[in-house]
Amino acid sequence: MPEDAGEPTPGKSGRSLTGFYIALGVVAALVGLGAWLWTPARIWYWERQVKKAPPTEVHGVQACNHDREIAACKLADLGPVAYPAFQRLLQSNDMDVRVNALIGVCNPRSTWALPLVAGSAQDQSNLPIIWTVVRTAEEITGQTFRTGGRSQEELFEARRRLLAWWEREGRAKYGGAR
């Protein structure tokens, strides 16, 4: 009789790699889902910050809200994928939200937002909004639409120049059809 007749033969230990591969698949799916949702989550977060940041008061008078400005700039840094968010912000009933959204795209890298800026100039009678729209368009395009002060007549004339430029050449150059 052989000596090793009483010893068990080495074989399967009872574990398989199935569990490992399932766990690996779950981790890969979570990483993929996170990567896919990362940009929409950031857009949602920064848009919410622009809308919800509490007003800043200095000696009982409402002042500029730097938190909203920073959030709008962070949202603008995401680029053209933030277009729908800025569209919603610029349609807000809250003037501060609209002004801060315009401030957020007030840089030459935000050419993708120029159709929204030009659209904000349409049918606008609010002087702070008009001034911010014209200033933002000047910053993005490098054009000059204002000629002097901030009087009501000058701002309406600057808005007229902006809209005329937009129809003449801006729409073709910066893609007004969205």
pLDDT bucket at 8, cuts 50 / 70 / 90: low
Considering the domain boundaries, does residue 98 fall inside one? Answer: yes
Considering the domain boundaries, does residue 12 fall inside one? Answer: no
Query: What integer pLDDT is reported at residue 1 of this predicted model?
Result: 54
> 143 or 125: whose pLDDT is higher?
143
Considering the domain boundaries, does residue 19 fall inside one? Answer: no
Distance CA 159, CA 83 (A): 22
Residue 23 has pLDDT above 90, yes or no: yes
Average pLDDT of the residues in 115-125: 83
What amino acid occupies position 171?
Answer: R
Query: What integer pLDDT is reported at residue 61 of this predicted model?
Result: 47
Give yes or no for a contact between 140 and 105, defined as CB atoms under 8 angstroms apart. yes
Give yes or no for a contact between 131 and 102, defined as CB atoms under 8 angstroms apart. no
Give yes or no for a contact between 83 and 178, defined as CB atoms under 8 angstroms apart. yes
Considering the domain boundaries, does residue 122 fall inside one? Answer: yes
> The domain containing residue 86 runs over which residues?
39-53+64-174
- The pTM of this model reads 0.73
Query: What integer pLDDT is reported at residue 94 of this predicted model?
Result: 85
Q: Using one digit for the tens of pLDDT, what is the confidence trace for 102-116? A: 988 988 888 898 998
Q: How many domains does the chain have?
A: 1
Considering the domain boundaries, does residue 163 fall inside one? Answer: yes
Query: What integer pLDDT is reported at residue 9 of this predicted model?
Result: 59
pLDDT bucket at 21, cuts 50 / 70 / 90: very high
Give yes or no for a contact between 104 and 136, defined as CB atoms under 8 angstroms apart. no
Considering the domain boundaries, does residue 131 fall inside one? Answer: yes
Query: What integer pLDDT is reported at residue 60 of this predicted model?
Result: 47
The residue written with tokens 């981790």 in the block is 27
